[in-house]
Amino acid sequence: MLTHLDSQGRANMVDVSDKALTVREAVAEALVRMRPQTLQMIVEGDHPKGDVFAVARIAGIQAAKKTADLIPLCHPLMLSSIKVELQACGSDAVRIQARCKLSGQTGVEMEALTAASIAALTIYDMCKAVDRGMVIENVRLLEKVGGKSGHFKVEEPTVEDAP
């Protein structure tokens, strides 16, 4: 059932006022593929624009807080925790993992997905002058805890575990 549609099929924001206040957490990931030289420049701290991981981490955190401004039917949430981790993955990729948490009446999947996506776009923006061929891929929800629908966890391997 699509909960963002009313009985006439019109878009509306879901009423969560009757939902229980529970701890909710979501983890999402994204992968940015690039030339090995680009990744080496990032890891060694030789990028002329500065610390790419630090800027991407801050962008992801800011994006999670702004999700309701970006996605029309998302509720504005009072997030209690946002963590964005970035790491080199092999010789040609950066793996981004975003974790959002709150005590509330609706989930934080969109906030985690937004954080991972914007962190990936920030890496692209900072590195496009040296590598326009970068590819952002595998943006997905890895895990969600809390709420009526319970626990969800992907069964496929995460990017770093994949062959």
| Residue 134 near residue 34 (C-beta atoms within 8 A) | yes
Helix, strand or coil for residue 12?
A: coil
Q: For this structure, is 46 an active site residue?
A: no
Catalytic member of 46, 51, 125, 131: 125
Instruction: Calculate the alpha carbon distances from 32 to 10, 52, 80, 99 in Å.
Output: 36, 13, 27, 18
CA distance 12 to 137: 30
Task: Kindly list the catalytic residues.
Answer: 125
